[in-house]
Structure 1
Amino acid sequence: MTTLAAVPSASTRAVPWRRLVWVAWRHYRFALVATVGVLGLVAVYFLVSGLQIHQAYDAWRSCTSRNSASCTFQLNNFQNKYGSTGLLGFVQVLAPGVVGAFVGAPLLARELETGTYRYAWTQGVGRVRWTLALLAPGIVGTAILMTAFGELIAWRNRPLVSAGVAQQMDGSLFPAVAPAVTGWALLAFSIGVLAGLVWRRIVPAIVTTILLWFGVAAAVSLGLRQHYATPLTTTKLQIKSADLTVGQWWTKGGHRVAVGQLNQVLQAAGIQQLPSGNSRAQASPGSGVVDPVHYLVQHGYRQVTSYQPAGRYHAFQWIEFGWLTVIAALLLAVTVLLLRRRQA
């Protein structure tokens, strides 16, 4: 009996990267069009309002006599009209998180939810090559879009910062401009990719991404960002409007004084604070109006203010971008490792 030896099949050749890029483009095209469309509408609004802000600021700058009534009126009108960010500030801060979540979360979740990943992993591509081919365009595209968006925000708010209306170190503006905004978008993207792998469903992955991203953003704005470098201290009653106040307290004889003790001192002098947060106070009847801060200073108390100077703004931007990018890279690395161990 003659036995026929099995003919070895030709080894499957790996799909070239250029074809994977084409597949990735078809994978991203709808998300890209939707993201660019939404960001485009928001960008148009920022562009139009930015032109108005720049024109109003130039009109005030061209005023020859700054101390005149007309120039003062222009400045007050500029501050009242553009000083409050309102919902706009909330939108510009949330933009990198929302964009990163909606681009990153469906990346693997869609494949796992529909089951198409089984086909992709068995067509000479492999799960790691397929994932890298999807990650690379997503990372580059998200970074480019949000960097451009951050530059637009910075341009729009530049006159407000110059006029002292907006604080560039404030939590409503600092994370919305580049390079920090790029880091925040990459963080949301990487959280979304990992959440999609864990949940295997798009909607839970998006919700998880937004919640986690918002928690990190809130923690950074409320405390961490203020301590990228040791704050400076001063006993001046006022600091520059561009500087960021970290904390304030009172001392006497080099020792810190509690607020309750200050209130006792003011009450003993017959000083009652006026309503509505007025900085001036009425002393005992017939004694006139007294400034409680100046009263405390005249009696040996010193107000100490810790602050971050405006000169550290660019350094803080790169610090924030740096650690956000590192965390994003670590999350993506964890995603790839988990994906390699997942059974098809």
Structure 2
Amino acid sequence: MIWLTWRQFRTQIFAALTVLAAAAAYVLITGTQLRHSYTADLASCGAQNDCFGVLNGLQDQYNGPLQLAEMLVLAAPGLIGIFWGAPLVAGELERGTHLLAWNQSVTRTRWLAVKLSCLALASVVTVGVLSLLLTWWASPLDAASGNRFGTMAFNARDVAPLGYAAFAFALGVALGLLFQRTLPAMAVTLAIFIAVQVLVTAGVRPHLLPATAASVPVNQTTMSQAIRFDRSDANTGPVTVDLPAPSGSWLQSESEVLNSSGRPVQTGEILSCWTKYFGQPGASGKGGSPGMGPLGACLASDNLHVDLTYQAADRYWQLQWIETALYGALALLLAVATFRRTRRLRG
């Protein structure tokens, strides 16, 4: 059965190997250049103690290739579910070739087990290699940005794509068996896989671990690091400030500026300090503006603060493994359902 499975799917395997070889060659060449640029830029800006602009320029330079690589890794599990998973059983049922094996003393369980295990392993290894290549290639950019929790970054790095590949493949096989037709199974596989990805990313991942709550005071130190400060044109409007979360963390929520009793601060209450350091024109301050620190010092006596919830940087691997296990469990459930339904097939 292993030899038969190889004969049936060798074209797909060779195509995957070709993609992996091309990806590895590209990553090796450009990744070496990227590392050289990162090291050189870090050394030059470190001497001047001003790396923000230099590292931003490096990220802008490689942003296009990075996004393309991330899209490839994100698309790979879905493509595997469509082109490897859905036709695995549905194609055999459409052509009637499954009967050749069943009528030659090969049990249905063994027939499915060999096909499922061989192609599932190939699926996980293929996506795993792509993820490994991207993780290595993008590591200087990830170090520069300090954020591994972004949707594209988290979903395309490290071990999470392995779970996606296992789930997408098992989903395609299960739907192929359910519909017993390849094209409908391919279409529904893609739709369900995308829906589950969106649901888990937006609705499940933020709740996998309890968030850490923190209250950050508005003062000269924090405002000097603020990304943006906004006030309303009306005196009764809200005041918001994007204060930095702990380094490398995933910021999940950020309140408006609050006073000591927890009430949202109104624009009229901070207008005197704002006018003193920014003048009347405009209604916002950008991070890095010279007036941000003095504005924070002026507001410090009012005991203002912003409430944050976030996932600390050291929870990255916990979330990666939990999500991988979640998708692995879904893949296992789909595989069990596929085996049970196969035993009830007529023929």
Q: TM-score, normalised by structure 2?
A: 0.79
Equivalent-residue separation in structure 1 for 2:111 and 2:73 (angstroms): 33
Equivalent-residue separation in structure 2 for 1:273 and 1:241 (angstroms): 33
- Partner in structure 1 of residue 15 of structure 2: 34
Q: How much has 1:317 moved relative to structure 2? A: 1.2
| Unaligned segments of structure 1, at least 5 residues | 1-19, 281-287
- Partner in structure 2 of residue 222 of structure 1: 202
Task: Tell me the SS of whatever aligns to 1:306.
Answer: strand
- Partner in structure 1 of residue 310 of structure 2: 307
Equivalent-residue separation in structure 2 for 1:72 and 1:231 (angstroms): 29
Q: How much has 1:109 moved relative to structure 2? A: 1.1
Q: How much has 1:68 moved relative to structure 2? A: 5.7
Match of 1:122 among 81, 86, 103: 103
Sort the Cα spacing of 1:151 and 1:331 in 2 relative to 1 into closer, same or farther, 3 A: same
| Unaligned segments of structure 2, at least 5 residues | 217-242
- Partner in structure 1 of residue 322 of structure 2: 319
Match of 1:244 among 250, 259, 266: 250
Name which of structure 1's ranges 92-101 and 199-208 shifts more when overlaid on structure 2: 92-101
Matches within 5 A, 1:256-267: 257=264, 262=266
- Partner in structure 2 of residue 182 of structure 1: 162
Matched, 1:197 2:177: yes
Q: How much has 1:166 moved relative to structure 2? A: 5.7
Sort the Cα spacing of 1:135 and 1:278 in 2 relative to 1 into closer, same or farther, 3 A: same
Q: How much has 1:45 moved relative to structure 2? A: 3.3
Counterpart amino acid of residue 188 in structure 1:
A
Equivalent-residue separation in structure 1 for 2:268 and 2:21 (angstroms): 57
Name which of structure 1's ranges 332-341 and 81-90 shifts more when overlaid on structure 2: 81-90
Equivalent-residue separation in structure 2 for 1:79 and 1:49 (angstroms): 14
Q: How much has 1:77 moved relative to structure 2? A: 2.5
Sort the Cα spacing of 1:337 and 1:65 in 2 relative to 1 into closer, same or farther, 3 A: closer
Give the greater-gyration-radius structure (CA): 1
Q: How much has 1:83 moved relative to structure 2? A: 4.6
Equivalent-residue separation in structure 2 for 1:74 and 1:268 (angstroms): 36
Say if 2:77 and 2:161, in contact at 8 Å, map to a contact too.
yes
1:85-119 alpha-carbon deviations (Å, 9 max, x no partner):
44443333222222243221111011011121222
Task: Tell me the SS of whatever aligns to 2:244.
Answer: coil
- Partner in structure 2 of residue 110 of structure 1: 91
- Partner in structure 2 of residue 235 of structure 1: 215
How big is the alpha-carbon RMSD for the aligned residues of Structure 1 and Structure 2? 3.0
Say if 1:161 and 1:242, in contact at 8 Å, map to a contact too.
no
Task: Tell me the SS of whatever aligns to 1:322.
Answer: helix
Equivalent-residue separation in structure 2 for 1:122 and 1:194 (angstroms): 23
Counterpart amino acid of residue 340 in structure 2:
L
- Partner in structure 2 of residue 51 of structure 1: 32
Counterpart amino acid of residue 322 in structure 2:
I
- Partner in structure 2 of residue 284 of structure 1: none
1:62-94 alpha-carbon deviations (Å, 9 max, x no partner):
33743267x666434313213564444333322
Equivalent-residue separation in structure 1 for 2:249 and 2:330 (angstroms): 28
Counterpart amino acid of residue 83 in structure 2:
F
Sort the Cα spacing of 1:93 and 1:297 in 2 relative to 1 into closer, same or farther, 3 A: farther
Counterpart amino acid of residue 253 in structure 2:
G
Matches within 5 A, 1:204-215: 204-215=184-195
1:117-141 alpha-carbon deviations (Å, 9 max, x no partner):
2222211112221111101101211
| Structure with the higher fraction of residues in helix conformation | 2
Name which of structure 1's ranges 310-319 and 196-205 shifts more when overlaid on structure 2: 196-205
Equivalent-residue separation in structure 1 for 2:107 and 2:190 (angstroms): 30
Equivalent-residue separation in structure 2 for 1:198 and 1:293 (angstroms): 64
Q: How much has 1:216 moved relative to structure 2? A: 1.1
Counterpart amino acid of residue 307 in structure 1:
Y
Sort the Cα spacing of 1:226 and 1:45 in 2 relative to 1 into closer, same or farther, 3 A: farther
Name which of structure 1's ranges 31-40 and 317-326 shifts more when overlaid on structure 2: 31-40
Q: How much has 1:327 moved relative to structure 2? A: 0.9
Say if 2:142 and 2:148, in contact at 8 Å, map to a contact too.
yes
Match of 1:333 among 311, 332, 336: 336
| Identity in percent | 29
Name which of structure 1's ranges 212-221 and 37-46 shifts more when overlaid on structure 2: 37-46
Aligned positions, number:
313
Equivalent-residue separation in structure 1 for 2:45 and 2:274 (angstroms): 46
Task: Tell me the SS of whatever aligns to 2:105.
Answer: coil
Equivalent-residue separation in structure 2 for 1:296 and 1:90 (angstroms): 44
Counterpart amino acid of residue 111 in structure 1:
E
Equivalent-residue separation in structure 1 for 2:141 and 2:43 (angstroms): 16
Sort the Cα spacing of 1:289 and 1:182 in 2 relative to 1 into closer, same or farther, 3 A: closer
